[in-house]
Amino acid sequence: MLKPGQLVMLVSPKGKRYFKLAHPDDVLHTHDGQLEFKKVLQAGFGQTVPTHLGRPYLVLKPTLYDLIKSIKRQTQIIYPKEIGYIIIKLGIGPGSKVIEAGSGSGALTTALAWFVGEQGKVYTYERREEFFKLCARNLARAGLGSRVEQFNHDISAGFLQENVDTLFLDVRTPWDYLEHIPSALKPGAPLGFLLPTTNQVSKLLECLEQGPFGEIEVLEILVRRYKPVPQRLRPDDRMVAHTGYLVFARLT
């Protein structure tokens, strides 16, 4: 039996997915009929629950991958293939305090909040109000809003935190904000950036070399999926290749 308020993923007979915080008095209205959450809570993960029309819905515990791939988006998101490397490279874990800018639709924000745990904190900055609100809705949907402090704030005026563990910028001209980073981070802290084009990366590298930054790394991550058919295993016809360049450094 699940606890009230727990996040669940409900999968329809045709594979459509619904993400909800399960409260016993709530009802999910679908094309397959009405689904009562009191029955979902009683059934638990891995079980099926019928709608009032008898259509079975599978109850699953969503993974972080499920949450990120299903967020409501109005912007290009950072993909899981980059997020995994970012988390490891920046040393983010339970209790970490992390600055992020800009929030966008909140894909990376969701992942950061997942990994910092209840004792950590994510400080996320977004200049555009519509994205600021969208990120808040996506965090609430995932049940992670309490781990995040949002700021509808232009970082050209600097960051509002000090002595933070790490920082990640997903903004168009990150070199404009490098001067504000040393006062926000702990000495020796790692930091990262995401940029879509090589000329932006070149500009950032030039500016990093002029500041208190070392251990600079540039990379991109490609993923090629395969058709999971035993008799004719081969790569998919299409792949998501370039989605951005990652740049990492340390404050020295």
Residues 45 and 70 in one domain: no
- Whether the pTM exceeds 0.95: the reply is no
Residues 36 and 159 in one domain: no
Range of the domain at 51: 6-60
Residues 34 and 95 in one domain: no
Residues 23 and 122 in one domain: no
**Does 236 map to a domain?**
yes
Q: Of 21, 37, 60, which residue is a domain's last? A: 60
| Confidence label for 67 from pLDDT (cuts 50, 70 and 90) | very high
Residues 145 and 222 in one domain: yes
**Does 1 map to a domain?**
no
CATH code where residue 154 lies: 3.40.50.150
**Does 15 map to a domain?**
yes
pLDDT at residue 240, rounded to an integer: 83
In the chain, how many domains are there?
Answer: 2
* pLDDT tens digit sequence for 191-221: 999 999 999 999 999 999 999 999 999 999 9
Q: Of 44, 60, 76, which residue is a domain's last? A: 60
Residues 190 and 105 in one domain: yes
* pLDDT tens digit sequence for 172-196: 999 999 999 999 999 999 999 999 9
Residues 17 and 136 in one domain: no
Residues 44 and 164 in one domain: no
3-state secondary structure the chain: CCCCCEEEEEECCCCCEEEEEECCCCEEEECCEEEEHHHHHHHCCCCEEECCCCCEEEEECCCHHHHHHCCCCCCCCCCHHHHHHHHHHCCCCCCCEEEEECCCCCHHHHHHHHHHCCCCEEEEECCCHHHHHHHHHHHHHHCCHHHEEEECCCHHHCCCCCCECEEEECCCCHHHHHHHCCCCECCCCEEEEEECCHHHHHHHHHHHHCCCEEEEEEECCCCCCEECCHHHCEECCCCCCCCCEEEEEEEC
